[in-house]
Chain A
């Protein structure tokens, strides 16, 4: 199957997940200034995923910026609102979200051998994240 490819990366938060990819090329903050924490909908005008929801997605973005409270944001999404992503893949993990991912057991990885994950994964692709072995399997859609 030539539409299926595997990529190795660095494990930031252990676990397994699979689902549909939602891909941003931009840095992100779970603070609530970019997305609505209760629903997971990205509501910031001008964001490349404006109007989309990251709930239950394999969420791919560049790295964290804006506010260290993004850590609380992701933790609330994961544990209180159940609106968080199934897994997160970054170009470069930042401790802001990595800490929430580790604490809430959201599988997460970065440093992929194919480069930034948004370079080889598109929104809608099916992604299986094995953040035990450090491998993701991408099925193009």
Chain B
């Protein structure tokens, strides 16, 4: 791999031990993946919650903070397991707060901004066309790659951190031009496009989730070109990328006519569509099958309703407040909604937090249910409902709650009645 003079200085320890260790790891990574050179990194987004980082992540962050490492580029961070202001409502073992405080302290020392958000691309970490990103959040890289034309792999928790320390990353994966071309064409059936365009009805959330899930499952490790996608708001696009990202190995989805690199289908392929390229079509029937596969709970009674994966934007909170109107959440049912600190500030000043919480629902910042220790605090007998495919896919496995999937309207109905009304059918997420 060809290294710049500055890269060599970092590798030789001329910028200190922390930089040397980080660069040495990145060189090994680049050589493993056959990268020709290093590229400048424009921003970082790190995964910092203790539930997922564990003691290994805590030790790594503290080691580098103690070596006086500094993050050289704008660096934001992912959500954690609790709201830093309302931590006492989260019923977590004390260890969680202590370990998280240690991680937060190490990151602040190194210059990270504690955004605790998965929608940093909408506020504190806005990407530009052509930027190289070292981000750990799939929905955010999905948006950055596909809507903005920035470049970001699903970067690991270690390489994203070391990219921040050095300002460099090996030019690999979809940071390279040649790896950004589609390998499959997916056509959206007109009826599917209509179903995801029912804005403001409160049902869009589930249709869009299912479309994202289906795109991700079909594409998996092939970058898709999507034909027939209707125009969407930024929040809808955020949700779409969130739902497809867990199944994708690279979060670039060419939405023909929307993605900067895909003004037309031909252009997505660099001018000519290859002969014999794989083609698939997404129909309403496939969305229905996806819907049925997600609801796996054995009783209709629900314990908690969770929405805000990805975090809610201000307009989505407005939609929830409007749908809730004067409805009340049934006693004993937790209706939890998640957003970030910047949006919470807007929600407060615009009266949305008050309108949402007077129903009995709770609106939290910083916290994401994916980072909750579900086996420890909930166990396998709890039944949860959500409109997020991503939440269901990332919170599963033995000892964890079972799920219902539905639209915002269905979630609010379940919050009022304590029962989820969608009938149970097929098996298998």
Point out the residues of chain A lying under 8 angstroms from B172, CB to CB: 95
Interface residues on B, range: 35 or more
Shortest beta-carbon distance, A9 to chain B, in Å? 12
Point out the residues of chain A lying under 8 angstroms from B274, CB to CB: none
Is A65 touching B54 in the complex (CB atoms < 8 A)? Answer: no
* B interface residues (Cβ-Cβ under 8 A, vs A): 25, 28-29, 32-34, 47, 52-57, 59-60, 136-138, 153-160, 172-173, 220-221, 246-249, 370, 393-399, 428-429
Query: How far does the alpha carbon of A44 sit from the alpha carbon of B392 in the complex, in Å?
Result: 13
Set A44, A67, A72: member contacting B246, Cβ < 8 A = A67
Is B54 touching A64 in the complex (CB atoms < 8 A)? Answer: no
Set B158, B247, B397, B429: member contacting A32, Cβ < 8 A = B397
Is B158 touching A71 in the complex (CB atoms < 8 A)? Answer: yes
Query: How far does the alpha carbon of A59 sit from the alpha carbon of B166 in the complex, in Å?
Result: 32
Set A35, A80, A92, A102: member contacting B32, Cβ < 8 A = A102
Residue of B nearest to A101 (CB): B32
Query: How far does the alpha carbon of A112 sit from the alpha carbon of B428 in the complex, in Å?
Result: 32
A-B pairs, top 10 by smallest CB distance, nearest first, are A71-B156, A43-B398, A99-B156, A76-B54, A69-B52, A99-B158, A75-B56, A68-B136, A76-B56, A71-B157
Point out the residues of chain B lying under 8 angstroms from A43, CB to CB: 397-399
Is B52 touching A72 in the complex (CB atoms < 8 A)? Answer: yes
A95-B154 CB under 8 A given contacts A67-B246, A68-B138, A102-B25: yes
Query: How far does the alpha carbon of A93 sit from the alpha carbon of B396 in the complex, in Å?
Result: 24
Query: How far does the alpha carbon of A97 sit from the alpha carbon of B394 in the complex, in Å?
Result: 17
Besides A34-B397, A46-B429, 8 more A-B contacts (Cβ < 8 Å) are A37-B54, A44-B397, A45-B398, A67-B138, A68-B157, A79-B56, A95-B155, A95-B172
Is A103 touching B397 in the complex (CB atoms < 8 A)? Answer: no
Shortest beta-carbon distance, A82 to chain B, in Å? 12
Point out the residues of chain A lying under 8 angstroms from B138, CB to CB: 67-68
Query: How far does the alpha carbon of A127 sit from the alpha carbon of B47 in the complex, in Å?
Result: 34
Query: How far does the alpha carbon of A93 sit from the alpha carbon of B221 in the complex, in Å?
Result: 12
Is B394 touching A80 in the complex (CB atoms < 8 A)? Answer: no
Chosen A-B contacts, 5 in total, with CB atoms closer than 8 Å, are: A45-B398, A69-B157, A76-B55, A95-B29, A102-B29
Q: Mark A33-69, 1 if CB is under 8 A from B, else 0.
A: 1111100000111100000000000000001111111
Point out the residues of chain A lying under 8 angstroms from B54, CB to CB: 37, 72-73, 75-76, 80
Query: How far does the alpha carbon of A54 sit from the alpha carbon of B78 in the complex, in Å?
Result: 29
Is B396 touching A33 in the complex (CB atoms < 8 A)? Answer: yes
Is A65 touching B220 in the complex (CB atoms < 8 A)? Answer: yes
Pick from B25, B29, B154, B429 the residue with the most CB of A within 10 Å: B154
Is A94 touching B158 in the complex (CB atoms < 8 A)? Answer: no
Is B32 touching A69 in the complex (CB atoms < 8 A)? Answer: no
Chain A residues 81 to 135 lying within 8 A of chain B, measured CB to CB, are 92-100, 102-103
Shortest beta-carbon distance, B245 to chain A, in Å? 9
Is A72 touching B47 in the complex (CB atoms < 8 A)? Answer: yes
Point out the residues of chain A lying under 8 angstroms from B28, CB to CB: 13, 102
Query: How far does the alpha carbon of A93 sit from the alpha carbon of B31 in the complex, in Å?
Result: 13
Shortest beta-carbon distance, B3 to chain A, in Å? 17
Shortest beta-carbon distance, B44 to chain A, in Å? 12
Is B32 touching A98 in the complex (CB atoms < 8 A)? Answer: yes
Query: How far does the alpha carbon of A80 sit from the alpha carbon of B247 in the complex, in Å?
Result: 28
Is A68 touching B156 in the complex (CB atoms < 8 A)? Answer: yes
Query: How far does the alpha carbon of A84 sit from the alpha carbon of B127 in the complex, in Å?
Result: 36
A66-B249 CB under 8 A given contacts A72-B52, A79-B56: no
Is B56 touching A33 in the complex (CB atoms < 8 A)? Answer: no
Q: Tell me if A12 counts as interface (CB < 8 A to partner B).
A: yes
Shortest beta-carbon distance, A98 to chain B, in Å? 6
Point out the residues of chain A lying under 8 angstroms from B220, CB to CB: 27, 65
Residue of B nearest to A110 (CB): B32
Point out the residues of chain B lying under 8 angstroms from A35, CB to CB: 397
Point out the residues of chain A lying under 8 angstroms from B155, CB to CB: 68, 95
Q: Tell me if A23 counts as interface (CB < 8 A to partner B).
A: no
Q: Tell me if A17 counts as interface (CB < 8 A to partner B).
A: no
Is B33 touching A93 in the complex (CB atoms < 8 A)? Answer: yes
Is A95 touching B156 in the complex (CB atoms < 8 A)? Answer: yes
Pick from B34, B54, B429 the residue with the most CB of A within 10 Å: B54
Query: How far does the alpha carbon of A96 sit from the alpha carbon of B399 in the complex, in Å?
Result: 25
